[in-house]
């Protein structure tokens, strides 16, 4: 492998990790707002939540949702980019994913 090829792969990896980080950050921001509103509202309105969920618990609920959203979104983005780039680098005979088999379309016991 040449150094140019390695540099190209390194640049691609950096770009993919940046895209995944941004996707995760966006998802975490949306999830923070989406979980903070009902959490804070329930603590103010519901007697059980007011008595049992202290500010530390509220922060833990909100941050857990944000962290999960970040990692799920980043992982999905990394997998989709890896799938796309592996498909781009695949040989032509592997890119044709359509089934062109011959024979019966279904087993005999399914025949009408």
Angle between helices 3-45 and 55-88 (to 10 degrees): 150
| Structure token digits, residue 101 | 């088999």
User: pLDDT at position 83, please?
Assistant: 84
Q: pLDDT tens, 83-108?
A: 887 777 777 766 666 655 555 555 55
pLDDT digits (tens, 9 = 90+) for 31-43: 999 999 999 999 9
Domain boundaries, the chain: 7-52, 53-89
Asked whether the CA dihedral 33, 64, 51, 46 is positive or negative, the reply is positive
* CA-to-CA separations, 39 to 28, 64, 72, 83, in angstroms, rounded: 16, 12, 21, 37
Reported as a single tens digit per residue, the pLDDT across 43-59 is 999 999 999 999 999 99
Residue tagged 């979980």 (tokens): 35
Whose CA is closest to 89, among 1, 3, 9? 9
């Amino acid at each position: 492998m040449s150094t140019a090829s390695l540099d190209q792969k390194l640049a691609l990896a950096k770009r993919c990790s940046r895209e995944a980080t941004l996707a995760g950050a966006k998802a975490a921001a949306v999830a923070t707002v989406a979980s903070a509103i009902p959490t804070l509202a329930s603590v103010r309105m519901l007697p059980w939540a007011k008595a049992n969920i202290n500010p530390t618990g509220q922060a833990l609920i909100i941050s857990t949702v944000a962290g999960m959203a970040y990692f799920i979104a980043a992982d999905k983005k990394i997998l989709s980019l890896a799938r796309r780039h592996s498909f781009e680098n695949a040989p032509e005979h592997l890119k044709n994913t359509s089934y062109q088999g011959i024979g019966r379309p279904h087993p005999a016991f399914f025949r009408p």
